[in-house]
Structure 1
Amino acid sequence: MQEFLLGAATSAYQVEGNNVYSDFWLMEQAEHTSFKERSGDAVDHYNHYEEDIRLMKKAGMNAYRFSIEWARIEPEKGRYNDGAIAHYRKVLECCHENGITPVVTMHHFSSPVWLIRENGWENEKVVGYFRDYCVYVTAQLGDIMEYVCTINEANMRLQVTSVMRTMLKNMGVNLQVGMNFELPEEYAVGEREISEILGGVKKANTFMAPCTPEGDLLIMEAHEAARDAMKAKCPHLKIGLTLSLHDIQPVTGGEQSAKEIWNEEFTHYLPYIQKDDFFGLQNYTRMLVNAEGELPVPDGKQCTQMGYEFYPEALEHVIRTVSKELELPIIVTENGVATLDDQERIEYLQTALYGVKRCIDDNVPVIGYLHWSLFDNFEWQLGYSKKFGLIEVDRSMQERKPKESFYKMAAIWKTAHTRRDER
């Protein structure tokens, strides 16, 4: 029987530091940027990965989801960086040496600047560009990879589009990623500045920019093209993608609204993932909806640092909903909470993990849980203030300070099994 994958997740841009060829790095440096602070050295995981992976082993984890930075691998179109490939081989080897199964993400939001100069994720050429990058990485590293997520939260661009519509209606905003909607007065100036830096493109179509329906489908075409080409190169690889999903709960009169939102978040992607080997499920909270759409968090409910509801029960609900519509093994590739109180994180973990175990007991094929995140890291436009991590980092010294939750996670999972076995 396959060992359950229990571990944590990161993304390259949020933890490595100095991803100078990435689109977000360019936007951070703009004088009138929407980023509240710059990523800089981040938590310097690029140089501290050995220490970090050994810590994971010490905490009883056996899996690590991390991403490969496309812009490091291909800083200029068609020119690959041998040094970057060598680095990621070392990361993979370190995982294996420590009994950690690597779950590799090929694209986690950030893209090479050259891609954005060519209209980014609205340019149909992105399908071939992404496929070729994935094939190159597979040719170099596929022998020591096993699980691969092509694209992180492939529905994020559509969710950002939906949030923009919601904001226009002055309703609640529920987005499971760090975007800054408190934009400076000079934001329009910053947009023009970035456009000039990119060579005059009218809009920076990054992976966090609102998309057209055609742009949404381009992402799925890129996924399919990459998946098929990588499998052809290395048939042993288990390949899927990840989606950001809410536990959508209708209140009186909201049933049709809930169905439409779920279709946008999940159902309409089903034709493109039937040939995948697993599904990466990412959830943080629930969404209450009425006939008009999403509702704000109810008065009196506990909220996270991100402003959405503290609701770890959502994970079990979403797993069960997905399993009714998709017959694939499920890996929870992200689930967690932004909080300054680590006891809240422990509470969140306990509720979420017990829910996962109940799903498994009911024969739902959940094969892994990867907590977001391993570190308190760079939460995109919101900077370093949001604390998702199992490990605190003193960035002045890059000193790792594991929290109680870091060591508790494996124990909580073990207890969930023991209590079930005793019944």
Structure 2
Amino acid sequence: MIDPFSFPNIHFPEQFLFGAATAGEQVEGNNKSQFDTRVYQQNVENEGMQYALPGKAANSWEQFPDDVALLKKMHLNLYRMSIEWSRIEPERGHYDEVAVAHYIDQFKQLREAGIKICLTLHHFAHPQWFEKQGAFRTLDNVSEFQKYLTYIVPKVAPYVDYWIVINESNLPFQYSITERMNLLTYHAIGYGLIKKYSDKPVSSAISFSPKHPFRGSENSLDQLMAKWLDYTENEYFIHALRTGEVTMPEHDAYTVEGLKDSFDYWAVNIYVRQNIDGHKADYRSGDYAATHLDVLPHPFYMEEISPEIIIDMAARFSDKPILITENGFATTNDDVRIVYIAEMLQEIHQAIQMGYPIIGYTHWSLLDNWEWGDTTPTFGLASVDGQFNRHLKHSGEFYGDIAESGQLTQEILRQYLHEQPKLD
């Protein structure tokens, strides 16, 4: 682990955005999306994985003022959240105006607190009826997505500062290759529609993880697999938004109307590098003993801190402003999270000094939450107890002091960290 006590003092640009992020399905509770069904639970468990239904999650639907209070206490000026389709249109063609009004009240609370809103329109979850129709596995549902956005976008547009149409449509654990390709069409539809009602920046968030050949660039199999995965998970998306052309190995290329340049900034979710071991069937399992961290009771995917991923990312996305829309670390040791935040902010500052256009940092997550079937991976700047009370962690206080002052100094660091964290 890098020594944070050796870091120089750094100052961020005056307009830099310090934020936190959540997704409605993970914090609101009782959304009634496809993830909230026993059928979905059974399908997951049939694949040999445990699955817990979200239930009330962090109960943010009822306790949103408590979440705003946390944001204010940390002096954050950006909140990334989602508006949940399953709440707005629980049945096809039937819209819940009470739910819409509830969201608008949330937006007003954020506005009154001086917090900008980065709004995600689809963060993995959608209505059960849409899932039964095939969701994004088919382009036949484009009209359903378009009708929903036509209804909701003009109602919420006055409150939104940054738009994200779709979250992580490139994620292989969530979407098949067919879906990844289809979702580019859905993104183009969303971008064009939002532009009719809003002049604020629009994008879709990419989950970007550099693919590192486990045995280095001289190992041809590791290198081949790393390049293949980079294209099918990263580059196909980047290429499509820049050119309008959808390309994927073993598929005919095609263009999508309205896709070219359908982004005003890069929304990048970035956590880790992936060490690709082409000599294993589980090729993402490359693990270096020297940098391995035991930070959770069971393996998740965050057993290494790699701050150099920030420079890799900045160089890849340098043609437009970059908003880091997710970055965080799941750990039961909050001191490790303090080190993680310090390391990432150091690299972000260095990237800015190098001329890369990073405009903000949004930490994942504001709260410990329901992590897509599990509550073990704790990402939050605040914990949530059994009665849904929020408790700001030292890492949240640390991050809040950075946001308030616009700088990361040794004085701030040493208030919260007195020695290198020790892992059991």
Shorter-chain TM-score bucket reads: 0.7 to 0.9
Contact 1:245 1:266 in 2 (8 A): yes
Match of 2:27 among 8, 15, 22: 15
Alignment of 1:237-316 (within 5 A): 237-250=200-213, 251=216, 252-253=218-219, 254-273=222-241, 274-292=261-279, 293-300=283-290, 301-305=292-296, 306-316=300-310
1:131-153 Cα shifts (integer Å, max 9, x gaps)? 22222211111111121111111
Aligned CA distance change for structure 1 residues 226 and 366 (closer, same or farther; 3 Å): same
Q: What's the counterpart of residue 196 of structure 1?
A: none
Aligned CA distance change for structure 1 residues 317 and 291 (closer, same or farther; 3 Å): farther
1:284-331 Cα shifts (integer Å, max 9, x gaps)? 1111225545442123521443243221414413323423xx511111
Is 1:216–2:180 an aligned residue pair?
A: yes
Aligned CA distance change for structure 1 residues 55 and 302 (closer, same or farther; 3 Å): same
Contact 1:374 1:390 in 2 (8 A): yes
Q: What's the counterpart of residue 339 of structure 2?
A: 347
Q: Give the 3-state SS of the residue equivalent to 1:380 in structure 2.
A: coil
Q: What's the counterpart of residue 314 of structure 2?
A: 320
Contact 1:391 1:400 in 2 (8 A): yes
Q: What's the counterpart of residue 403 of structure 1?
A: 393
Aligned CA distance change for structure 1 residues 280 and 28 (closer, same or farther; 3 Å): farther
Contact 1:71 1:111 in 2 (8 A): yes
Alignment of 1:107-256 (within 5 A): 107-156=122-171, 159-160=172-173, 208=174, 210-211=175-176, 213-234=177-198, 236-250=199-213, 251=216, 252-253=218-219, 254-256=222-224
Counterpart of 1:355, as a letter, is E
Counterpart of 1:394, as a letter, is D
Match of 1:98 among 113, 118, 132: 113
Range with bigger deviation, 397-406 or 1-10 = 1-10
Deviation at 1:337, TM superposition (A): 0.7
Q: Give the 3-state SS of the residue equivalent to 1:246 in structure 2.
A: coil
Contact 1:319 1:359 in 2 (8 A): no
Contact 2:19 2:78 in 1 (8 A): yes
Q: What's the counterpart of residue 388 of structure 1?
A: 379
Contact 1:316 1:355 in 2 (8 A): yes
Contact 1:126 1:222 in 2 (8 A): no
CA distance in 1, matches of 2:232, 2:358: 23
What runs of 5+ residues in structure 2 fail to find an aligned partner?
Answer: 1-12, 242-260, 411-424
Q: Give the 3-state SS of the residue equivalent to 1:347 in structure 2.
A: helix
Q: What's the counterpart of residue 325 of structure 2?
A: 333
Q: What's the counterpart of residue 202 of structure 1?
A: none
Range with bigger deviation, 217-226 or 288-297 = 288-297
CA distance in 2, matches of 1:302, 1:417: 24
1:82-106 Cα shifts (integer Å, max 9, x gaps)? 0111011011111110011010000
Counterpart of 2:30, as a letter, is N
**Identity within the alignment, %:** 28
Aligned CA distance change for structure 1 residues 408 and 321 (closer, same or farther; 3 Å): same
Aligned CA distance change for structure 1 residues 291 and 32 (closer, same or farther; 3 Å): closer
Contact 1:353 1:412 in 2 (8 A): no
CA distance in 2, matches of 1:219, 1:32: 23
Deviation at 1:257, TM superposition (A): 2.9
Cα root mean square deviation, aligned: 2.1
1:251-300 Cα shifts (integer Å, max 9, x gaps)? 13233332222112211112432330111111111112255454421235
Q: Give the 3-state SS of the residue equivalent to 2:312 in structure 1.
A: helix
Alignment of 1:24-39 (within 5 A): 24-27=35-38, 34=45, 35-39=50-54
Counterpart of 2:95, as a letter, is Y
CA distance in 1, matches of 2:44, 2:278: 36
CA distance in 2, matches of 1:268, 1:40: 36
Aligned CA distance change for structure 1 residues 368 and 415 (closer, same or farther; 3 Å): closer
CA distance in 1, matches of 2:355, 2:69: 33
CA distance in 2, matches of 1:388, 1:368: 19
Q: Give the 3-state SS of the residue equivalent to 1:241 in structure 2.
A: strand
TM-score by length of 1: 0.80
TM-score by length of 2: 0.80
Counterpart of 2:124, as a letter, is F
Match of 2:68 among 40, 53, 68: 53
Counterpart of 2:378, as a letter, is K
Aligned CA distance change for structure 1 residues 255 and 53 (closer, same or farther; 3 Å): same
1:54-91 Cα shifts (integer Å, max 9, x gaps)? 22111111110000111101111121110111011011
Match of 2:57 among 42, 45, 53: 42
Counterpart of 1:257, as a letter, is M
